[in-house]
Structure 1
Amino acid sequence: MFQAHINVEYCNSVKSIKYICKYVNKGSDMAVFQIVQNSEQNNRNDEILMYQMGRYINSNEAAWRIFSFPIHERKPAVQHLAVHLENGQRVYFTRDSARKIASEPPENTTLTAFFQLCQTDSFAKTLLYVDVPIYYTWDKTRKIFQRRKQGMPEEGHPEIMKADTIGRVYTVHPNNAECFYLRMLLHEIRGPTSFTDLRTINGYLCQTYREACQRLGLLENDNHWELTLQEATLIASAEQLRELFAIILTKCNPSNPKQLWDAFKRSMSDDILYQIRQTNPELTIEFNDDIFNETLIRLEDKCLAINNQALVELGMPAPQRNAFSVLNYEITKEKSYNVNELLEYIAHNKPLLNDNQKKVYDVIMYRIINNTGGIIYLDAPGGTGKTFLLNLILAEIRVKKHIALALASSGIAATLMEGGRTAHSALQLPLNIAEQQFPVCKISGKSGRGQCLKQAKVILWDECTMAHKKSLEAMDRTLQELRKNSEIMGGALLILSGDFRQTLPVIPKSTPADEINACLKKSHLWSQVQILQLTKNMRVELSKDETTAHFAKILLQIGEDTYPTNQTTGLIELNSDFCNIATTENDLIDKIYPNFVQNYTNVEWLFQRAILATKNNVVDDINFNILKKIPGEERIYKSMDTMVSSEESVNFPTEFLNSLQVPGMPLHCLRLKIGSPIILLRNLSSPKLCNGTRMIVKQLSNNIIEAELISGKNKGQTVFIPRIPLISSELPFQFKRLQFPIKLAFSFTINKAQGQTLKYCGINLKEPCFSHGQLYVACSRSHSSRVTRGI
């Protein structure tokens, strides 16, 4: 249309800033030129002349500049906003005017004018400092804010006009502490009328702005962990309190854990004292060192289970027990399964194996009995009874007091296996494993976990297709070192199970080729893998329903890329034969969550359903829309965001860090109500609190959240979730977010849903699938077209 080359720069992420700023200001093209006659004398290479630089402007650019058309423009407008302490305005004067200026009050700044505006304007009382330029203009002459006369009317306030002007408060270095905290308050408190009002929190006048930030919960300090445990002592049992303290020790790195122990050791020991008094009713028994030592032993057991760390490594006093018992905690745990329960489980479930499962079972058990190491991969599409078979194999090994380790790539899959743990935490895999050439697991041969891996008869790894190929290679190197055996996996038998039709390893900013190259099939170890298959769909067999069979058939075609696609778009078109089609997002919500207000208190009803989407922003919108339907007060928890390197704090203001929505991290502003479902975003305490565990909020306190588990083998148990520090590696800089590691779970992403089973599943495809296996994963969460709805 324009018959010209038009360069449009879209600044879509923080990583683009440097490129954009440099590109739009680089100036005209430069050229090296020389005009000479064609002769041998002039053909000599004159380096000085060759380096003469000339400015070249073509005719189009010359005409543009002659007519004084703009070279570039910036939109929207940015209003700079002053920040200073009380009576800390900048004053400009000369030698001659110094006395006169000193005798007069200082001129208004945008900050003092904002305070004055909030004293007289009721609408301004509802605004943050940075929002004022949207509705008011700054009169530089009179030094006041005035309401806009042009623009779009504000919803609910037709007399108020708004524009797209952006307010930006000048940055302050953290070394200028009080001004830094004042600036932080201006981004949190609406409509302050003075500096004094700004540091008045809930009717209490704080002496400093730092104290005000502290009272608002905007700053992190060790007092936070003390308040967390104080709240927990009011509602948690001693066992739950020990579990919470173990999570704080292993995940939160408090600076003085011994002080926390001394303050709360009695509360953590209540149940032990009670048990001893019940056993010895004739004696008067009070708290003593023996009781506290037993508490420390139980606490250390939890820390070892969570992060393989003894208390002495965490800055705590070591319990009085021999080193042998600490070393063998992992081994004792893996050999402590109830034999009678295992025999009963085997006797009941082994006859239920179908022919296909029995064949796979016999092959695996033959290799276990004959101590034949190596790798087996069990290919198992959804509904073929993979988890049922794996649990039976685990029981067969454990009943003979052998060690069988159950690992999974996802937290949900780990909770479905007895004694299951996520592979990442159990193997201590490096966080940046994709960037390392020859990674190894961070496990010492002298540790309890190292001893456990040495003695393992078999290792099961479910949902292995989600793992990076370097995870498998790191495990191979580690087992060879630990077991002093150069055979593959150190001579141990590794059983991998999964479904390559599902999502592959997540590689940020990658191409499909990058994802495929990272999957296990591209590992040099794959050529030595024995492949077994489960093909018979048990859901179809048990239901005896033609609709379910048709659904399973199409689902397999989607997973194997044999389902017909649109010739024009290349996309799969789902019709009403496969799933019920919703017309709008609200229609989808109503179909998956019918009669919501009457049913949301039913835990089983909530657990059976969810809406899946491809991207987090779509998920967040759905969650917030449904949350509004829950009656009751909404509680807002704001994260504490800081730069890991304090030297970079001035370049990344707090409000910028607050605005970041990083995949896998909780939002800065977490909105919750009692009764809302939530999903865990981090492994806290395997196998009970794994990444992907779903819960229902039972109580909302200032520093802890009480929730009830609604998934996994610990379903129905009450847990307490603290804030934990989270550091993202997704950005070109590192920042820390202290927040509850959860998000609402009316809806979650398709990747997060892998391993989940839903009775009623909604699929929102307004944003299309963008990586291998996402559509297959979304559709395979339920078992029938009658309970699957899409938009």
Structure 2
Amino acid sequence: MAVFGVQNINTDDEITHYQVGRYVSCNEAIWRIFSFPIHERHPTVVHLAVHLEDGQRVYFNASNVAQRAETPPMTTLTSFFSICQSDPFAQSLLYSEVPSYYTWNASSKKFQRRKQGDGVPGHPDVRSTCSLGRLYTVHPKNDECFSLRLLLVNVRGPTSFQSLRTVNGLVCPTFRAACQKLSLLENDTHWDTTIAEALISASPNQIRTLGVFTIRSGNPELEVNEEIHNQALILIEDICYLMCDSLLVKLGMPTPHRELNEAFNRVLEREHCVTNEDEATNYPTEFLNSLDLPGLPPHNLQLKVGSVIVMIRNLNQPRLCNGTRLLVRKLMDNVIHATILKGKFESEEVLIPRIPMIPTDIPFEFKRIQFPIRLAFAMTINKSQGQSLSVCGLNLENECFSHGQLYVACSRVGKPSALFVFAPDNKTKNVVYNNVIK
């Protein structure tokens, strides 16, 4: 490319160099002659307002100040409430889903149904596109507005601010109280509910074990009568020491009265990770809910009675450890009643609570309170190591990539007739370290 221009006194004028050196190719020239679009944005992103009742921004002048104060203009949030009152389809949507089915008319300040797009099954008058809705972020220190935004992310079809604060027919005094009733915010009530659900059918030993999970993960304030519950505290401390090598005093709990021996003189420090609330504006709740990270259960964990699940955390070794497979017997909001399927503790019934988990392999910290399990339709070869199965199906569409993996997979059963292998062309590679066969 050649640059032609008049010599300038300033030889470092980058703007002039760019202007005189710009080159228009044949393709770009034809593109501009036919007036084709030079660039576009896809998909369309619609910013959605988040504000408290009568807390929206209003522009006015001296002539219309009274009128604007009496009837402020509609925002995307108040318009969302309006269409939920009159449109049955809108009542099934989250706030962030509205731009996919409705367009925002900036002049009339209203949402209108889309006239173009793909049809929605069961709703012949509704059209959908790939447009996205993004709520403005709110800092957690702005407590009520942050709670309002959290409700908008999770509650479908609210018709007003009061409707958003209504939980199970009761109107909560604040948005934060509504979030707490819906278990959207972490507090000790979660652990109280966990224990209350377990009391329905669990044995005393299971409840004591669940109490250790509560102390280790949530560290709530518990009222303890020393005379009556001293023996229970001793049993809980024994379990707690086996599970996390810590005494109750290190976990913020009362110490039982007994003579300490050498085994209980060990003092080990626990590291607590605290999430940075200043990062909440950079990583909104709906983005965190969409993350599906290795070693972490999904935000939307769909289970039913009879599902086979696998542990992804060490809760109570050696009973409940990473890789233990269980069968769901009973589902509650905060506790899963399950039966261990294999191993030394086969057929033993256990309780699995929701616990806070913080991943360590991402550039920011966040906490997810969820059951430490995943559905166990299948497991990796490494995860299956050490387990004995009655029947095993081996999928080798993706070949083994390390030494000994094929052997580990095939040795999960005791007889060849119990092993079923699927491999393309009935062939696969057996990866062996070269030095082994030399």
TM-score using structure 2 length: 0.84
Quote how far apart the aligned CAs of 1:133 are. 1.1
Please name the residue that 1:729 is paired with: 360
Quote how far apart the aligned CAs of 1:72 are. 4.1
1:643–1:649 Cα contact (<8 Å) kept: no
Distance 1:643 1:72, change over 3 A: farther
Partner letter of residue 41 of structure 2?
R
Following the alignment from structure 1 to structure 2, what is the Cα–Cα distance between the partners of residues 784 and 156? 50
Please name the residue that 2:346 is paired with: 715
Please name the residue that 1:170 is paired with: 136
Quote how far apart the aligned CAs of 1:786 are. 5.8
Please name the residue that 1:788 is paired with: 420
Larger mean Cα displacement after TM superposition, 178-187 or 750-759? 750-759
* Correspondence for 2:28 among 53, 64, 82: 64
Please state whether the residue corresponding to 1:752 is helix, strand or coil: helix
Following the alignment from structure 1 to structure 2, what is the Cα–Cα distance between the partners of residues 34 and 686? 80
Would you say 1:76 and 2:43 are equivalent positions?
yes
Following the alignment from structure 2 to structure 1, what is the Cα–Cα distance between the partners of residues 115 and 394? 45
Corresponding pairs, count: 408
Partner letter of residue 91 of structure 1?
V
Following the alignment from structure 2 to structure 1, what is the Cα–Cα distance between the partners of residues 252 and 410? 48
Please name the residue that 2:263 is paired with: 328
Following the alignment from structure 1 to structure 2, what is the Cα–Cα distance between the partners of residues 77 and 224? 39
> Kindly, what percent of the aligned residue pairs are identical?
48
Please name the residue that 2:426 is paired with: none
Alignment of 1:247-646 (within 5 A): 247-250=213-216, 252-256=217-221, 259=222, 261-262=223-224, 289=227, 292-324=229-261, 327-328=262-263, 447=266, 644-646=275-277
Please name the residue that 1:588 is paired with: none
* Correspondence for 1:754 among 378, 385, 397: 385
Following the alignment from structure 2 to structure 1, what is the Cα–Cα distance between the partners of residues 170 and 13? 70
Partner letter of residue 227 of structure 1?
T
Partner letter of residue 447 of structure 1?
R
Partner letter of residue 86 of structure 1?
E
Please name the residue that 2:119 is paired with: 153
Would you say 1:740 and 2:371 are equivalent positions?
yes
Partner letter of residue 790 of structure 1?
F
Distance 1:167 1:698, change over 3 A: same
Quote how far apart the aligned CAs of 1:731 are. 1.0
1:679–1:743 Cα contact (<8 Å) kept: yes
Would you say 1:55 and 2:21 are equivalent positions?
no
Please name the residue that 1:653 is paired with: 284
Following the alignment from structure 1 to structure 2, what is the Cα–Cα distance between the partners of residues 643 and 122? 42
Distance 1:787 1:125, change over 3 A: same
Partner letter of residue 239 of structure 2?
K
Following the alignment from structure 1 to structure 2, what is the Cα–Cα distance between the partners of residues 241 and 203? 32
Please state whether the residue corresponding to 1:145 is helix, strand or coil: strand
Alignment of 1:90-101 (within 5 A): 90-101=57-68
Question: Could you list the runs of 5+ residues in structure 2 that have no partner in the other structure?
Answer: 424-438
1:81–1:169 Cα contact (<8 Å) kept: yes
Q: Write out per-residue CA displacement over residues 65-97 of structure 1, whole angstroms, 9 at most, x where no aligned residue.
A: 892765543211111111211222221012343
Distance 1:174 1:126, change over 3 A: same
Question: Could you list the runs of 5+ residues in structure 1 that have no partner in the other structure?
Answer: 1-30, 37-47, 266-287, 330-445, 450-641
Quote how far apart the aligned CAs of 1:160 are. 2.1
Distance 1:195 1:309, change over 3 A: same
Following the alignment from structure 2 to structure 1, what is the Cα–Cα distance between the partners of residues 151 and 141? 17
Quote how far apart the aligned CAs of 1:231 are. 2.0
Please name the residue that 2:332 is paired with: 701
Distance 1:643 1:129, change over 3 A: farther
Q: Write out per-residue CA displacement over residues 453-489 of structure 1, whole angstroms, 9 at most, x where no aligned residue.
A: xxxxxxxxxxxxxxxxxxxxxxxxxxxxxxxxxxxxx
* Correspondence for 1:130 among 90, 96, 101: 96
Please state whether the residue corresponding to 1:328 is helix, strand or coil: helix
Following the alignment from structure 1 to structure 2, what is the Cα–Cα distance between the partners of residues 85 and 120? 22
Please state whether the residue corresponding to 2:200 is helix, strand or coil: helix
2:219–2:251 Cα contact (<8 Å) kept: no
Following the alignment from structure 2 to structure 1, what is the Cα–Cα distance between the partners of residues 100 and 48? 12
Of Structure 1 and Structure 2, the greater helix share is in 1
Partner letter of residue 322 of structure 2?
N
2:120–2:126 Cα contact (<8 Å) kept: yes
Alignment of 1:678-693 (within 5 A): 678-693=309-324
Please state whether the residue corresponding to 1:181 is helix, strand or coil: helix
1:126–1:191 Cα contact (<8 Å) kept: yes
Q: Write out per-residue CA displacement over residues 625-649 of structure 1, whole angstroms, 9 at most, x where no aligned residue.
A: xxxxxxxxxxxxxxxxx98111111
Following the alignment from structure 2 to structure 1, what is the Cα–Cα distance between the partners of residues 124 and 420? 43
Please state whether the residue corresponding to 1:234 is helix, strand or coil: coil
Partner letter of residue 89 of structure 1?
Q
Please name the residue that 2:190 is paired with: 224
Would you say 1:144 and 2:78 are equivalent positions?
no
2:410–2:419 Cα contact (<8 Å) kept: no
Distance 1:764 1:74, change over 3 A: farther
Following the alignment from structure 1 to structure 2, what is the Cα–Cα distance between the partners of residues 301 and 643? 28
Please state whether the residue corresponding to 2:99 is helix, strand or coil: helix
Please name the residue that 2:431 is paired with: none
Following the alignment from structure 2 to structure 1, what is the Cα–Cα distance between the partners of residues 276 and 90? 36
Please state whether the residue corresponding to 1:153 is helix, strand or coil: strand
Distance 1:108 1:643, change over 3 A: farther
Q: Write out per-residue CA displacement over residues 357-398 of structure 1, whole angstroms, 9 at most, x where no aligned residue.
A: xxxxxxxxxxxxxxxxxxxxxxxxxxxxxxxxxxxxxxxxxx
Quote how far apart the aligned CAs of 1:789 are. 4.2
Quote how far apart the aligned CAs of 1:244 are. 1.1
Quote how far apart the aligned CAs of 1:765 are. 5.4
1:328–1:448 Cα contact (<8 Å) kept: no
Distance 1:102 1:725, change over 3 A: closer
Quote how far apart the aligned CAs of 1:730 are. 1.6
Please name the residue that 2:78 is paired with: 112
Structure with greater Cα Rg: 1
Quote how far apart the aligned CAs of 1:233 are. 2.3
Say what the alpha-carbon RMSD is for the aligned residues: 3.0
TM-score using structure 1 length: 0.48
